[in-house]
Structures are given as structure tokens and as C-alpha cells.
Amino acid sequence: MNRRRFLHAAAAGTAIVAGGGIPALSSCGDAPTGPTGASRTPLPAGTTMGGAGMLIAAPGSASIETGRSVPAWLYNGALPGPTIRMRRGEGASLRLVNQLPDPTIVHWHGLVVPDDADGHPRDTIAPGSSYQYDFPIVQRAGTFWYHPHAHHSTAGQVQRGLAGFFIIEDDEESALHLPQGEHEVLLLLQDRDENAALSYTYAPSAADLTSGILRNVPFGNGVQRPTLAVDGGCYRLRILNASHSRIYRLALDTGTPLTVIGNDGGLLPSAIESESVYLGVGERLDLLVDFSQLRAGNRVMLQSLPFMLAGDLAVRYPQGIALDLLEFVGTGEAGPISPPLPPTLSSVVDLSPTVPGERTFVFTSGAGDAHQINGLSFAMDRVDERIPLGQVERWIFQNDSTLPHPVHLHGTHFQVVARSDGRNRVYPYERGWKDTVLVMPAESVEVLVQFTTYRGLYLLHCHNLQHEDAGMMLNVEVF
């Protein structure tokens, strides 16, 4: 009944939130479906640090549910690792200490930093050594993250538990008085094995090498099937898809549309409402949810809705299966109500190309783990593209395979201007600035790219971690 109602609503599409309040969840009295309460695990909030300190990557144990831990590799002992929170204009001084049995390096996904602080795999450090990162925060507010980037080892290291949030704040965002403290929730989404003993291990099957690792148990902030107690206030929900390969189609089981205020690169030009939102690997979403109508003990589920993928592989838990990601349970207490959003959240200037023509990147997946861009597999010392600093270029990401490819660029953000074939549209939640864009089978996505700040060596790659490790990655030199 619930399901039918929101699938219907999904056809209604999206709308701009015009300066008003956000929609309150109006139908929260429905009976819960699936595991609830006792069989769910409280969502951990994690710890926070500033821009100075140490990140220690080391073996440890991850608490996956109350009273149960499994061996894992972690930053500072937890997944997510410490949330790094900084303001624009500050300087970061962070030291990665490698206490893993493997080489590693940290990449700050979505941060504009000098190339020697970007975590390029050429900077991988040996077990027992450390790497110093010094960089200024030169970009607008947003939800970013960090994770390992050692070539051929990224997938396994993220799978074992290495990832964390990097939050940037600025004056423009502060002026909006968005929910904060307990009303700002960070959610790191992953899917892991139903056999808890295997949930943080990495042993890809032959099928996994093609599709990537797709499992059926949703994890949030490292714990399985999370639940979160919420008062009747307005919450800011920052969601990160830190999965190996899985794409989510986020929605609330009440059918209430999602109010989206931001994505990969920070705030959208204006808040929009969307019945559901596709979130590819590496992408982020910034939402507001009003729980003022949620009565004590009642529940709302953040779900991933089913979707179809033409030609997806016959794996056990393919892309597009329905998943219950995070349960919210009302406490019945009153909570802070946020002021109405202004019609404009942020000023985003539209890029226009300064050179004619385009660069085209064709993504192909062959048998086994043959994942390539323009027929090339990543080579550490080969420069694949040279881009002049400041030039605005039109790039085409063309998917000539039957697998989805979330395409990610280091060193800058881009604007998504067109998508042809497949879903055949740019979604309102893809406006503003992006560093990762989902390119479904047969789709071509057109983006405008400008490197504005640093010269040096950056990367373009698919963020399906199996594909990335298999070499679906190019070196991009900004000169």
C-alpha cells in the first residue's frame, strides 16, 4: 500500500521549493515494514576533529551491531573515521600514519588541493611510514569525504572500513541557519555481506570483478540496518554513498518528497523537492527532513526504491533491488523548527565553454575485469589528457557498456548540462557543482569543466571501486 503510493508519486517528478517551509512528513502513522526497533542498530554519530591532527590507518575492530564486532581496517579506530570539519580560508595540516600491512594513501574526495596533497596513487606510502598533507581550504561549503587511493588496493581498503567525512563550512551557508548539532546527521551508506563474519572482508568473486561488489545488507556509519531516534524538529541529513558499487534510489516510505538543498559540490542554487534521488557511488546529497508530524514510537524509513537496469548482470543482488537503509523513530519530543529557506540558497554562476569542440571519454567494460576509458587502462606514469588552467571545456562521458559508471574527477567541480539516452535528462538535484556524475548504461552525459586553482596531476575515473582498481582511470594534467 505504502509502496504503491510512493511509486505513483515518483512519476510526479520534482519541484522547486519556493521560499516556503519544507513538507512535513504527513503520514507517519503507518505500520512499520521489515525489521524495526530491536533488530536494528543505533546509528553512530562518530567523532569530529578540526583540520590539524593525525589520521592513523590501522587494523582494528568494527562494531556492526550492539554487542558484535568484526575485524576491520579503520581510520582512528572507527568507521566513519573522524569527521574533519573546517571553514573556508583555514589551513589543513593532517598527517596520515600507515599502520596497515599494505601500502596506502588518503585522497580527499571533492577537495581542491595541490596535487601532492591529492592522494594520487603515485604518492602511496609503505607500511610503517607517514605522509604530511598541508593545504588551504579554498572552496565553498559542502559535504566531502576521504578514503584510500592506492592503485589496485582502493576497493579492498574501503571494503575493510577505511572512509570518513570531510565537512567544509562557509559564511554563505552559515547565513541559512541550517539544522546543526544533533539535528545535523551524517550518513555513510554501504552494502555489505549478510554473513556478518564476511561483512568487512574482501574476497571478490569472478562476478564481482565485473559488476563490482553488490550485497544486500544496508550499513549506515559502519553498522548494519541502522535506526535513529528523532524529535519533532527539522533535520539536515548529509548522505554519502561510500559503497563499493551499489547505486541507491533514495526515497521516504511515506511518499513525502525529499527536500534537497545540496549535492557533491555544496548548496544547490535553490532547494528542490524530488520523490526519489539516484545516488551513485561517491556522490553526496544534502537533505532537510521535517519530523514535526512524527508521533512518539512511529517510524519512517529511508529506502532505496527498485529500479531497472537494461542488461545488468545476473548477480545475486543486482543493482536496483529495494533496500531499507535507515529507520527514523519518533521520540515525541518537540524539536527546533528551522526558518523558511530563502528562494536562492547559493549563487552558482553557469559556465560557458571558452573553446570549441569537446573531449569525449568512452567507458567500456569487457569480459572479467576489463574496464577501460577510451580503450586505455590506467598507467601510473602516462599523462592521458592535458588541460590548460582556467579553460572551460565541454566533456562527454559516454557509457558504451551494460554497467553503470559513476564518473569522478579530482581537482575541481563541474556542471552537468545534458544527459542523452537512458534516463535522458539532467535531474534538478544534479545542478550546481558536482565532482561525480552517474552515467547509466547507454547514457552520454555532457559536463562543463574548469580547473581554476592548481596546476598538476589529477585523476578521472569510475568510482565503482572494482572498476577503478581494474584501471578505469586516467591521468589528467592541468598546465
The residue number whose beta carbon is nearest to ligand C2O equals 109
Q: Name the nearest CA neighbour of 312 among 389, 235, 247, 376.
A: 247
415 or 464: CB nearest Cu ion:
464
- Binding span for Cu ion by CB under 5 A among 85-93, 183-191, 273-281, 456-464: 456-464
Q: Which residues contact 67 (CB under 8 A, 6 or more apart)?
A: none
What would the grid cell of residue 419 be? 544527459
- Binding partner of residue 462 among ligand C2O, Cu ion, none, CB under 5 to 8 Å per kind? Cu ion
Whole-number Å distance between alpha carbons of 341 and 344: 8
236 lies in the site for Cu ion, by CB under 5 A: no
CB of 398 to ligand C2O, least distance (A): 20
- Binding partner of residue 405 among ligand C2O, Cu ion, none, CB under 5 to 8 Å per kind? Cu ion
109 or 413: CB nearest ligand C2O:
109
462 lies in the site for Cu ion, by CB under 5 A: yes
Whole-number Å distance between alpha carbons of 229 and 288: 16
125 or 462: CB nearest Cu ion:
462
40 lies in the site for Cu ion, by CB under 5 A: no
- Binding partner of residue 461 among ligand C2O, Cu ion, none, CB under 5 to 8 Å per kind? ligand C2O
109 lies in the site for Cu ion, by CB under 5 A: yes
Using CA atoms of 54, 55, 58, 63 in order, give the dihedral in degrees to the nearest 10. 120
- Binding span for Cu ion by CB under 5 A among 103-111, 313-321, 384-392, 422-430: 103-111
Are 473 and 458 in contact by the 8 Å Cβ rule? The answer is no
CB of 120 to ligand C2O, least distance (A): 9
CB of 471 to ligand C2O, least distance (A): 13
107 or 405: CB nearest ligand C2O:
107
Count CA atoms closer than 13 A to 267's CA, side-chain side: 25
Work out which of 397, 464, 475, 476 binds Cu ion, going by CB under 5 A: 464
Q: Name the nearest CA neighbour of 466 among 152, 216, 72.
A: 152
Using CB under 5 A as the binding rule, the residues of this chain from 404 to 433 that contact Cu ion are 405, 410
149 or 467: CB nearest ligand C2O:
149
CB of 329 to ligand C2O, least distance (A): 32
- Binding partner of residue 236 among ligand C2O, Cu ion, none, CB under 5 to 8 Å per kind? none
Locus of grid cell 514510537: 297
- Binding partner of residue 467 among Cu ion, ligand C2O, none, CB under 5 to 8 Å per kind? Cu ion
Binding-site size, Cu ion (CB under 5 A): 6
Using CB under 5 A as the binding rule, the residues of this chain from 376 to 405 that contact Cu ion are 405
Burial of 91 by CB count in 10 Å (0-12 exposed, 13-18 middle, 19+ buried)? exposed
CA–CA distances in Å: residue 394 to residues 353, 423, 449, 452, 479: 6, 20, 6, 15, 17
Q: Name the nearest CA neighbour of 232 among 293, 300, 185, 183.
A: 293
Using CA atoms of 290, 291, 293, 295 in order, give the dihedral in degrees to the nearest 10. 180
Phi, psi of 267 (to 5 degrees): -65, 145
Count CA atoms closer than 13 A to 439's CA, side-chain side: 29
Which residues of this chain interact with ligand C2O, rule CB under 6 A? Answer: 107, 109, 147, 149, 282, 408, 410, 459, 461, 463
Using CB under 5 A as the binding rule, the residues of this chain from 283 to 342 that contact Cu ion are none
Point out which residues bind Cu ion (CB under 5 A).
109, 405, 410, 462, 464, 467
